[in-house]
Structure 1
């Protein structure tokens, strides 16, 4: 089959997060003999990257990259931000979206690569069209439901929030652009039940079938470190990782380390909030900044940790760091205000959750010093990674979703909820296949 992935950031021109999922899905499809084309916006990456380094990236065989560069620099993403249309990128996108041999179009983070206008672009109406909502962009101009860059959004104040966040105006949000765009989709996919319900509560379910398909990691992501005892360290340590921004909550974690002098905190990542975090860590010799890590280096850091702390303050849609910790047989400690983080990290059975700083401190002490508890949590988390969050399970669900969308089209109707199993854990077999969860 021939797939087209459309997203804003990818490969070398990315920050992780949704781009990591797109890359992993592309590689999984290529390993199974499919042809995959990825269109991503270099103009957008350059406009917002600041000092973020380019990632080293080599596409796998079968993966074809189409970096979009308009020659107009920042004007291109600004135009898309304001109008909700691809504009300077539309010609290049039409070439693939008009192709008769295209089987599947999968949209991801489209905020700056085309806005809602890209969802209906192209003459090929035979191809199945799906979109994964990696963020809350469909219901939040700031993408994250993080208000005034200081608190989770519990009441809409979008215009004032955009002004405070210095975001360019998005006039198209006051039109029918989103309903019209979503009307071209066969399914709108969410990596967590929490994100799906948040969007349904805000009315998105009126315009597209909502589907739950969790993220996954490639089978070899951790390099096999989970099969070996971690190398001994002089001192036990807790790990944390993510982009160093205020909403990730590391500023709540670092000061608590003065109450755990027998334990180190090793924090991986880079970002604009790093100077403030380093200031908070002054005088705390047990806080170490590891810089930007990926792949084997991150897996090694997590494998040697007593636990991975995920202190996100905003409602995440999944939280890849939880899955990455589970892949190394390491439990997690998650903030209950982190949206899907609680679902993936605590309700899955692989970690502890907390609400207050004192509860966080208590959870860290327990996971460091209670070996029986740590082993039990680690085993539960790893079971999720090799079961419902495995590559093979994900690809089965993904291909079944495509087949169901195609079948619904052939019958002249939309995907129905009764075509999918709604249980938890591994999907229920249907003949030789599995089902996605559709709501």
Structure 2
């Protein structure tokens, strides 16, 4: 099959949607399909076209104020000029999926929304109401809607009444990467007196909740924080750390290799993802697979990871008053042994195979 994957951003940009599209695209190529990723580059610094691990990547310049929207009507024009068996659009929260739905021609149209109902800022959240009209068009034109979590599936069925089209196929991991990464020996049954390493991996946006970790640090002697990622909220987070006098206990990293990132997961004592809304939570899955216990905010798909042992949930709204006591309690008791990879975490090979089957089902 000739398959077009449409997404706002793609590798070397990082994020949940970027990872999802990259992993399934490369596996679909290995399965014998012709795959193009059609995406945007608001910076204009990346290659217009290139082949990455067998995947043809085409980037159009986009208008993306505040790293949002990724307005690129050229995607519509391009799709209208080319024939595909499958057009698979990703991310409700940006315009490329809308242009893909209009430019589908005779192709089977599959939509993975990565939907969490809210915008990433108060202003973007306000824009969600008028955007809902465009969103309904995308859903109406889709032959199937692939949801990455039960939480997302319920939200979509409630907001868009498309239950007949929805199917749940979660995100995955390359489980082989984590096979030799897990380090059972680094756990202890009591506080051994050593400094505990907290870890956050992801975009630096206010809704991600990194500020609550930084705000907790003055009360958390014996803890340090490693932040991996970049985004528009970074400057404010750095100023916050400085004003609270904890800047020397916060390490900022970005653009790591995959090997370096995996080592950071394994080195951490506790991983935190305090985001107010997520459709899945791939970094939480990666941390758990690396053998690192997690603390997450309840109220989104992150709650599906909570088991009270390997992953602890914090009630929303999150605050430093809720974060600090939980971390101190964990430090006092010592780091619990992660009992194993969650049975609900799938390998990308299985995810890709399920998506391929969905393509065939929709096309027939």
CA contact (8 A) 2:314 2:322 kept: yes
Q: C-alpha displacement at 1:369, in angstroms?
A: 4.2
CA contact (8 A) 1:306 1:367 kept: no
Superposition RMSD on alpha carbons, in Å?
Answer: 3.6
State the alpha-carbon separation in 2 of the partners of residues 366 and 30 from structure 1: 48
Q: C-alpha displacement at 1:229, in angstroms?
A: 5.8
Q: Any gaps of 5 or more consecutive residues in structure 1?
A: 48-52, 150-157, 411-439
> Is 1:64 aligned with 2:26?
no
Task: Pick which of 214-223 and 248-257 moved more.
Answer: 214-223
Q: Any gaps of 5 or more consecutive residues in structure 2?
A: 187-192
State the alpha-carbon separation in 2 of the partners of residues 390 and 400 from structure 1: 16
CA contact (8 A) 1:306 1:368 kept: no
CA contact (8 A) 2:50 2:57 kept: no
Distance verdict in 2 for CA 1:193–1:147, change over 3 Å: farther
State the alpha-carbon separation in 1 of the partners of residues 94 and 297 from structure 2: 30
CA contact (8 A) 1:30 1:60 kept: no
| Equivalent residue in structure 2 for 1:293, among 256, 269, 276 | 256
| Equivalent residue in structure 1 for 2:232, among 244, 247, 272 | 272
In the alignment, which residue of structure 1 is the partner of 2:4? 4
CA contact (8 A) 2:172 2:347 kept: yes
TM-score (norm 1): 0.69
CA contact (8 A) 1:89 1:113 kept: no
| Equivalent residue in structure 1 for 2:333, among 355, 370, 373 | 370
Distance verdict in 2 for CA 1:88–1:267, change over 3 Å: closer
Q: Which has the higher contact order (CA 8 A, sep 6+)?
A: 2
| Equivalent residue in structure 2 for 1:132, among 79, 89, 112 | 112
In the alignment, which residue of structure 2 is the partner of 1:235? 195
Deviations 1:42-91 (A, max 9, x none): 2xx238xxxxx979x9854431112224xxx64x99xxx79x9x643333
Distance verdict in 2 for CA 1:350–1:212, change over 3 Å: farther
| Equivalent residue in structure 2 for 1:116, among 98, 103, 117 | 98
In the alignment, which residue of structure 2 is the partner of 1:200? 157
Q: C-alpha displacement at 1:223, in angstroms?
A: 8.2
Aligned residues: 350
In the alignment, which residue of structure 1 is the partner of 2:190? none
> Is 1:212 aligned with 2:164?
no
CA contact (8 A) 1:239 1:267 kept: yes
CA contact (8 A) 1:7 1:113 kept: no
State the alpha-carbon separation in 2 of the partners of residues 2 and 227 from structure 1: 42
TM-score (norm 2): 0.82
In the alignment, which residue of structure 2 is the partner of 1:434? none
Deviations 1:219-260 (A, max 9, x none): 344584226867xx9733111122222111111111211222
> Is 1:334 aligned with 2:296?
yes
State the alpha-carbon separation in 1 of the partners of residues 325 and 298 from structure 2: 15
> Is 1:308 aligned with 2:267?
no
